[in-house]
Structure 1
């Protein structure tokens, strides 16, 4: 076997005619995947449930195998697609008729911010990092938690934010990146500070050190009270 054997590199043991077969296999796999997606409906990637992602990944693997492996027959793969479609429809039927099953399968919305503070338990179990959630808030135009009445992590990973009215905004933790906000384990000067982890507010004296009474975190940031830009 010589290096840079172009026939081995491009076709190996296959004949040029196999390329036409690959084209037909790809077309058939494309049609079957397209049919499944039409059945699933028009949903974006972030709207897909965990079950739907598993189904699509499984079908993608089967479609990939049948397109270019000559020893993989087409009919068994079509059977896989048909079985997955039936399983998908059965799962949707069960989800519509049993809220408990649907909650187990897809999860449920989690309240992460309530009245300008993080809900510690849901933040810890929400499968989203603290910094990632702050980024989502910034994308919604949030500058600090005091602008937010309610923040909900939806089952598809999106974040729903409900704001206070302009005249109801209260002081809160800045959600800006660390380079844009001071992080301190003590108060540089007297004033109102927000716990970096949960958003709890404490009025602190100059050089005072304090563990957050709500979550025991030790880092603080000066609280902001700016109203939300219109």
Structure 2
């Protein structure tokens, strides 16, 4: 086989005239996807649940194959779209009539911050690292966890945040990038310190070297009491 063969790289075994068929197939699958989304009442992409992402990925695979493979017939792809539309409607009906089915397909919201402290065991169970979570929280305008009364990881991956009023903000773990906050193993001065792993806040004396009573971690950062800037 000749390497860097432009003819093979561009067309392989199909004739150039097949490009018109590719355009027709692409238009066909575009119409099918559009009709499917209209019929199922699709919401924004960021609001998709795991089940809905699965449906869209399956549609994308079927649409992509029929668009540019000359040996993939078009009518079976139409059957795929109809089957998925029926399946989608059936699952939605089941979820509206059964909480157990809804939890199976959609999952449950998870409380990941409560009373200014991180539920890091639940966070890890959701395959979400502290770094990813803190990035999402910073996007909500959160500087430290003491500003947060409650944070809920929704089934679609979004995080709902409920804040303390300014006069209710408590000392909390700063969630700014690591280089913005100095870390300590030996406490330099008296004050409130937050465990960098589990966010537990305790009062420590200068010169002490203590482990976290919640997770036994040995690294601390000064807890922040900054108010929210809105």
Q: When the two structures are superposed, what TM-score results if normalisation uses the length of structure 1?
A: 0.94
1:101-137 deviations in Å (ceiling 9; x for gaps): 1111111111111111112332232221111111111
Partner residue in 1 for 2:86: 86
CA distance in 1 between partners of 2:2 and 2:195 (Å): 66
Partner residue in 1 for 2:22: 22
SS at match of 1:216: coil
- Deviation of 1:2 after TM superposition, in Å, equals 4.4
- Deviation of 1:11 after TM superposition, in Å, equals 2.4
Structure 1: where are the runs of 5+ without partners? none
- Deviation of 1:40 after TM superposition, in Å, equals 3.0
SS at match of 2:173: coil
Partner residue in 1 for 2:176: 176
167-176 vs 38-47, greater mean Cα deviation: 38-47
- Deviation of 1:51 after TM superposition, in Å, equals 1.2
CA distance in 2 between partners of 1:4 and 1:197 (Å): 53
- Deviation of 1:191 after TM superposition, in Å, equals 1.5
SS at match of 1:162: strand
- Deviation of 1:186 after TM superposition, in Å, equals 2.2
SS at match of 2:150: strand
Q: When the two structures are superposed, what TM-score results if normalisation uses the length of structure 2?
A: 0.94
Structure 2: where are the runs of 5+ without partners? none
CA distance in 1 between partners of 2:119 and 2:11 (Å): 58
- Deviation of 1:4 after TM superposition, in Å, equals 4.6
1:15-67 deviations in Å (ceiling 9; x for gaps): 23222211111111111111111123242222111111111111111111111
CA distance in 2 between partners of 1:24 and 1:139 (Å): 43
1:200-229 deviations in Å (ceiling 9; x for gaps): 111111221111111222211111111112
1:146/1:21 Cα in 2 relative to 1: closer, same or farther (>3 Å)?
same
